[in-house]
């Protein structure tokens, strides 16, 4: 039977690596996702591109992705800093209470 202290230290090291990778990965995704989405919106709202239906679909997708990045990824980053918005924010508390009842 292997030594449990070795296994515990290995698991705590893996958890720390996962936490740091997630925190930095989500931060990079947040920054570059916002920059890319804003640039897409600036380009696709020009008159030349608004006439094409395909670019309208891409514009709608970009706006949706911008909301997702700014809500979901930001909440994941806050969770990495041990901040739980559902416990500290009145807005999240009221909305989650309405969902569950």
pLDDT in tens, 3-62: 678 888 899 999 889 888 888 999 999 999 999 999 999 999 999 988 888 999 999 999
Among residues 76, 74, 46, the alpha carbon closest in space to that of 58 is found at: 46
Question: How many Å apart are CA 85 and CA 75, to the nearest integer?
Answer: 8
Number of folded domains that form the chain? 1
- Domain hosting residue 94, numbered range: 4-100
Residue 2: left (phi > 0), alpha (psi -120 to 50), or beta? beta
> pTM here?
0.72
């Amino acid at each position: 039977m292997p030594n449990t202290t070795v296994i515990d230290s290995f698991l705590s090291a893996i958890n720390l690596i996962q936490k740091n990778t997630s925190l930095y990965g989500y931060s990079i995704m947040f920054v570059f996702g916002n920059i890319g989405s804003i640039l897409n919106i600036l380009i696709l709202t020009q008159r030349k591109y608004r006439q094409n239906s395909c670019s309208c679909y891409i514009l709608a997708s970009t706006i949706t992705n911008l909301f997702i990045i700014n809500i979901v990824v930001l909440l994941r980053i806050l969770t990495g800093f041990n901040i739980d918005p559902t416990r500290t924010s009145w807005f999240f508390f009221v909305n989650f209470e309405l969902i569950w009842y």
